[in-house]
Amino acid sequence: MSKQRFDELRKQLDEVNLEILAVLNSRAQLVQEIGLLKTGKGTERFDPIREKEMLDLVVQANTGPFSDDTIRHLFKQIFQASLGLQEEEKKSLLISRKNKSQDTVVQVGPLAVGGGTPIIISGPCSVETEAQMEAVASHLQGEGIALLRGGAYKPRTSPYDFQGLGKEGLRILSETAKRHQMVCVSEIVTPEDVEMACEYLDVIQIGARNMQNFELLKAAGSVRKPILLKRGLAATIEELLYAAEYIASRGNDQIILCERGIRTYEKATRNTLDISAVPILKQESHLPVVVDISHSTGRKDIMFPIAKAALAVGADGLIIETHNEPAVALSDAKQQLDLDQFSTLLNQLRQSGFLPTTVQA
Ligand code: PEP
Ligand code: MN
């Protein structure tokens, strides 16, 4: 073969490559358009029957020199790449970092949750009496804590355990908080109660057992109150993010995520604190993340190291259950710190530099 013919063939080959490239990309555009039509219709992106039809069609038309098997293999690769293209076309979640690079700061009264300074949420597991709430709140206020918690609707494992004071509990919590210039948070368990709760609460909590109560999530998305969304007992990080998206998709983007431990085979702690969830949640979403060091561990003797770990991995705050008389608490008696223990923990965190000495908490 002459050198001239050789060069000519190579040139032609380059041109054919470019033609293939152009055809591949125009095919990709068609695939993207089809992907957009499928969006929101619940249509599966991968349709094996359609893929088989397309493969049969090209193989039937194949006249060689490539074998049918080779053609099948090549086109499967093209189909696979196109599928990836449709995936990229998927809309990213409202709560996703991809949609918003800055951190969301949830303002709760004087507190900026996610604003760079860690916050502390504290108070008893359950609101029990006016006197109990008064004792706890006055101590917490003295420590500079601004966000008071207390359960009024308690989702208990046993129906025979204390179920909470209901609306009366919300009233006691709210009035106590106001008397001490604090803001308050409590769990709501039914969608019907969400609007009513807004009158009493500064933050509505959705508890672990209700993380996938979708009607509750929708109701929480329809009000203009910050929501504290706790991770389910056996929920993946992705499921927690989708639960938050339910709230955001209804127009409420004031969401605080909470890692509170997940169920594993380990019995040394009540739940297993998934510490890696904190940086992952903060990477995947722009929402603030707090860690509940009481429900995740279920024990008081490791509060300090666990609190340090949570803050070290970037938590925007901590939830710490406190009670004036934990031994006689109507729920979670074992894990609640008494008021002195709480002050000791706070001092340890401040002295070790994990919390600023002049906290906004
Ligand atoms: C609570 O915070 O009162 C509570 C019940 O926690 P969780 O939903 O995480 O179990
Ligand atoms: Mn509790």
- The predicted-structure confidence for 101-110, as pLDDT tens digits, reads as follows 999 999 999 9
295-317 confidence digits (pLDDT tens):
999 999 999 999 999 999 999 99
Q: Assess if residue 192 is contained within a domain.
A: yes
pLDDT value, residue 40: 66
- Comparing 71-80, 186-195, 207-216, 229-238, which segment has the lowest mean pLDDT? 71-80
Q: How many CB atoms are closer than 10 A to CB 42?
A: 6
Confidence check: pLDDT of 47 > 90? no
The reply to whether 139 and 223 lie within a common domain is yes
Confidence of residue 230 (pLDDT cuts 50, 70, 90): very high
Q: Assess if residue 96 is contained within a domain.
A: no
Does residue 239 contact residue 227 with C-beta atoms inside 8 Å? no
Ligand 1 in contact with 240 (CB < 6 A)?
Answer: no
Q: Assess if residue 356 is contained within a domain.
A: no
CATH of the domain at 232: 3.20.20.70
**Mean per-residue pLDDT of the chain:** 94
pLDDT value, residue 357: 80
Q: Assess if residue 99 is contained within a domain.
A: no
The reply to whether 220 and 310 lie within a common domain is yes
Distance (Å, rounded) from C-alpha 45 to C-alpha 294? Answer: 43
CATH of the domain at 84: 1.20.59.10
- The average pLDDT across 61-71 equals 95
Residue 253's domain comprises 106-351
Ligand 1 in contact with 229 (CB < 6 A)?
Answer: no
Number of domains in the chain: 2
Ligand 1 in contact with 270 (CB < 6 A)?
Answer: no
Q: Assess if residue 67 is contained within a domain.
A: yes
The reply to whether 179 and 36 lie within a common domain is no
Does residue 288 contact residue 106 with C-beta atoms inside 8 Å? yes
Alpha helices in 104-204 (DSSP H): 130-142, 167-179, 194-198
The reply to whether 180 and 322 lie within a common domain is yes
Confidence check: pLDDT of 122 > 60? yes
Domain end residue (candidates: 37, 57, 91): 91
Q: Assess if residue 317 is contained within a domain.
A: yes
Distance (Å, rounded) from C-alpha 326 to C-alpha 114? Answer: 30
What is the 189 CA–ligand 2 centroid distance (Å)? 15
Distance (Å, rounded) from C-alpha 131 to C-alpha 350? Answer: 29
What is the 57 CA–ligand 1 centroid distance (Å)? 58
Q: Show the tokens assigned to 250.
A: 């209804």
pLDDT value, residue 143: 97
Confidence check: pLDDT of 87 > 80? no
Nearest C-alpha neighbor of 87 from the set 160, 138, 32, 43? 32
The reply to whether 318 and 288 lie within a common domain is yes
pLDDT value, residue 234: 97
What is the 125 CA–ligand 1 centroid distance (Å)? 8
Domain end residue (candidates: 91, 124, 159): 91
- The residue nearest atom 5 of ligand 1, judged by CA position, is 207
- The average pLDDT across 277-290 equals 98
156-201 confidence digits (pLDDT tens):
999 999 999 999 999 999 999 999 999 999 999 999 999 999 999 9
Q: Assess if residue 215 is contained within a domain.
A: yes
- Comparing 80-89, 106-115, 162-171, 251-260, which segment has the lowest mean pLDDT? 80-89
The reply to whether 210 and 333 lie within a common domain is yes
Q: Show the tokens assigned to 181.
A: 């210039």
The reply to whether 141 and 58 lie within a common domain is no
Instruction: Return the best residue to mutate from 122, 125, 210 for the ligand 1 pocket (most ligand atoms within 8 A of CB).
Output: 125
314-350 confidence digits (pLDDT tens):
999 999 999 999 999 999 999 999 999 999 999 999 9
- The average pLDDT across 30-56 equals 81
The reply to whether 74 and 117 lie within a common domain is no
pLDDT value, residue 358: 66
Q: Tell me 290's DSSP state.
A: E
pLDDT value, residue 42: 61
Does residue 84 contact residue 63 with C-beta atoms inside 8 Å? no
The reply to whether 150 and 67 lie within a common domain is no
What is the 10 CA–ligand 2 centroid distance (Å)? 75
Q: Assess if residue 359 is contained within a domain.
A: no
Does residue 313 contact residue 279 with C-beta atoms inside 8 Å? yes
